[in-house]
Amino acid sequence: TTLGLDDFEVLSTIGTGSYGTCKKIRRKKDGKVLVWKEMDYGSMTESEKKLLVSEVNLLRELKHCHIVRYYDRIIDRSNTTIYIIMEYCGGGDLATLISRCRRDGIYVDEDFVWKIVIQLTLALKECHRRKNGKAVLHRDLKPANVFLDSDQNVKLGDFGLARVLQHETSFAKTYVGTPYYMSPELVNNMSYNEKSDIWSLGCMMYELCALHPPFTAANQTDLNRKIRLGDFSRIPIRYSSDLDMIIRKMIQVEVSKRPGIDAILNEPLVIAHQTHSD
Ligand code: ADP
Ligand code: MG
């Protein structure tokens, strides 16, 4: 039994992003609070629509405690809008957290950073396990796509759809805004692999500590140059050298030296922190 728009009550608008509007909703039958993302497919070509459907179907299969759960989709032909129903994350996103910290001049706790690194690595492991040759999810790893639930646990969200809505004609186009987290191999127009995600994860963890990305520049050319060089300053001294070291391993220009997901999860330091946070 498929639910329709009438089975939900709109509670509020959370925000409007590049692809549509997110609304907080309530499922009438049981009162469960969820969100839906409204996207107008009216101007999409047939092939884009096909890709959208397949991506959404793929998202429905991704079930993991650190990935935003997708529940359902409703298509309303009368206004050419698709409603993608997903888990509501009441703790906001990391981008908001980072800008609040920057504004207030406070740093996040080191324990929180460790927890986020571990949970996001576990989420990535699941994404990579899921790519069955046929479909590769485009993971737009950035603080705005990392959500927190009410228990401060992390939920990776908002990937896959980015790929549909901005044709992958050129690699640079798959990034909205300034691609601060773009790996050197992508800067050099080489193929995307699981270690590119590790680079982005490292950049994100760096920003969570330093409250600014490891590489910043006023223009793309300068940014690319800095990324290729891979030089950046230490995270603030209040953070341990252990944390600094893990982040440095992830932001390593040489792909072969950069750890993969399993290598990170097998790091003694990571294992130690994993048992701590449980
Ligand atoms: P953007 O292109 O900026 O990512 P989105 O449409 O994804 O735009 O999101 C719009 C707003 O809704 C953002 O403030 C985002 O943090 C929030 N949001 C998106 N998904 C969820 C969710 N599952 N739970 C809570 N808030 C969400
Ligand atoms: Mg988003």
Q: What is the pLDDT of residues 174-199, one digit of tens each?
A: 455 678 999 999 999 888 788 999 99
> Does ligand 1 come within 6 angstroms of the Cβ of 18?
yes
Tens-digit pLDDT profile for residues 84-137: 999 999 999 999 999 999 999 999 999 999 999 999 999 999 888 876 544 445
Give the residue-averaged pLDDT of 20-34.
95
pLDDT at 75: 94
Ligand with the closest atom to the CA of 35: 1
> Does ligand 1 come within 6 angstroms of the Cβ of 14?
yes
Ligand with the closest atom to the CA of 22: 1
pLDDT at 52: 84
pLDDT at 199: 95
Angle at 115 between CA 113 and CA 116, to 5 degrees: 65
CB 61, CB 100: distance < 8 Å: no
Q: Which ligand 1 atom is at minimum distance from the Cα of 21?
A: 6
Give the residue-averaged pLDDT of 133-150.
74
Residue ranges in the chain assigned as alpha helix (H): 46-61, 94-104, 110-130, 161-165, 184-187, 194-210, 220-229, 241-250, 261-265, 268-277
140 as an active site residue: the answer is yes
Q: Is the ipTM of this complex over 0.85?
A: yes
> Does ligand 1 come within 6 angstroms of the Cβ of 161?
no
Give the residue-averaged pLDDT of 221-229.
97
